[in-house]
Copies of this chain bind each other. A is one copy, B any other.
Amino acid sequence: MKDTIQLALLGVGTVGSGVVQVLKENERLLTERIGRKVAIKTVLVRDAAKKRPLLEGIHVTTDFDTIAADPDIDIVVEVMGGLHPAREYMLRALEAGKHVVTANKDVLAEYGQDVFGCAEKYGVDFQFEASVGGGIPIIAPLKHSLTANRITEIMGIVNGTTNYMLTKMMEEGCSYDTVLKEAQEKGYAEADPTADVEGLDAARKAAILASIAFNTRVHFSDVSVEGISKITPADIDYAKDLGYVIKLLAIGKDMGDSGIEVQVHPAFLPKSHPLSAVNGVYNAIFVRGNAIGEAMFYGQGAGSLPTASAVVADIVEVARNIGNDNCGKLLCTCYEKKPIRPLDEVESCYYIRLLVDDKPGVLGAIATTFGKAGVSLKSVIQTRRNIAEHAEIVAITHRVEHRLVRESLEALIGLPVVDEIRSVIRVESEQA
């Protein structure tokens, strides 16, 4: 048995440097917990000439081939991110009989089947706890601690950027543009914020979570996605008045025979829901199962050390498996093929805000139009928010199919008294 498990680290950005730091700082206890040492032998970088005090004493290369060909390397730790060449490097590492640990949500959500298949073929481990929720343990709990359950619902705040922005908007009443600029200045949002604010990052995580929770393959393109860029301070105010917060949610539901629903969208969430108190850059994943009832996993969804916490835990797991000669077990858990329900068939409650003419009979006309379209209203309020000769109407619907809401909005916009459909936001976890 080898004295030391040797690692190759692909990438030494935010997550990679966290991994180096955690391995160094906690070296003694990691050795205790694994039963032998782990050490980074090689780091793959783009620019080998760059000075990196953190990597002192570690071999640095720009050539992945030397890693794939190095028989000393047991585990390849992919923390470079992005689809390519991360996917190719992982596949080649697996083919070379090396175990892979990754934080890469993009590759998982797009090519999950390939990498699992490859790991299975070569009998090696493939671990990806850090791909969802940063440091928060959620993949391992779903694959182990919650196995007694049929999971019926998984609902997560899985994007720190948008949660920071929505929290700021709730707390300070500022506009989307103002808070985006501030998030960019603080480094919480990228210069091109699209992947975060339009929900694409969350959608990749939703695909991964739903695949594991429901034991069926969910691809990134299966997820219906809507971002937060249309959320206004007015919506935030109405949400508060009505006892809700607004959160960007990644939602998966197993509807039994009618298939599974996987979506990312902003939603009104009752203040009593455990996720409603998850603020700022924190993330949390809420799970409903037929034995456990409700459970929630909370922590930092990003950042160097929190994400490294998950990556290094995966390294420990693989190292233990190597020690126990127990690698390549429990890889792909998609035992079933469940259909994805089309968005039009998905039922939800809705908050709908309209700008209308301020004259008698308008509210009745609107309620009638909803009714004709098959949309049943829980409440409808007419307000006057400093709008000359106009009023706003806020309607909350009962649970209704998306298609009917879509059709009702088409009918509403055809009414002469309706000037604008200002917001359509789903209301989640509402008592029916």
Contacts and interface: CB of A to CB of B under 8 A. Distances in A.
A137 interface: yes
Given A313-B147, A324-B326, A299 B295 contact: yes
Contacts of A356: none
B146 A137 contact: yes
A320 interface: yes
Interface in A284-310: 289-300, 303, 305-306, 308-310
B299 A292 contact: yes
A150 B305 CA distance: 12
A382 interface: no
Contact of A309 (B215, B289, B296, B313): B289
Given A141-B140, A326-B324, A147 B293 contact: no
A274 interface: yes
A257 interface: no
A291 B274 contact: no
A311 B291 CA distance: 11
A26 interface: yes
A135 interface: yes
A305 B292 contact: yes
A242 interface: no
A47 interface: no
Interface string A17-35: 0100010011001101100
A315 B330 CA distance: 16
Given A145-B140, A329-B320, A293 B32 contact: no
A149 B298 contact: no
A290 B25 contact: yes
A298 B295 contact: yes
A180 interface: no
A376 to B, nearest CB: 31
A359 interface: no
Contacts of A305: 290-293
A129 interface: yes
A32 B277 contact: no
A308 B295 contact: no
B295 A146 contact: no
Contact of A29 (B22, B150, B294): B150
B141 A145 contact: yes
Contacts of A368: none
Given A292-B135, A295-B298, A326-B324, A26 B148 contact: yes
A134 to B, nearest CB: 9
A317 interface: yes
Contacts of A141: 137, 140-141, 145
Nearest to A33: B147
Contacts of A137: 137, 141, 144-146, 295
Contact of A290 (B26, B296, B300): B26
Interface string A319-345: 010001010011001011000000000
A136 interface: yes
A316 to B, nearest CB: 4
Nearest to A291: B309
Interface string A178-202: 0000000000000000000000000
A22 B315 CA distance: 33
9 contacts: A26-B291, A135-B291, A137-B144, A145-B310, A147-B313, A147-B316, A148-B312, A296-B296, A296-B297
Interface of A: 18, 22, 25-26, 29-30, 32-33, 129, 135-137, 140-141, 144-150, 215, 274, 277, 289-300, 303, 305-306, 308-313, 315-317, 320, 324, 326, 329-330, 333, 335-336
Given A33-B147, A146-B309, 8 more contacts: A25-B290, A29-B150, A32-B336, A137-B146, A144-B313, A145-B310, A148-B309, A294-B300
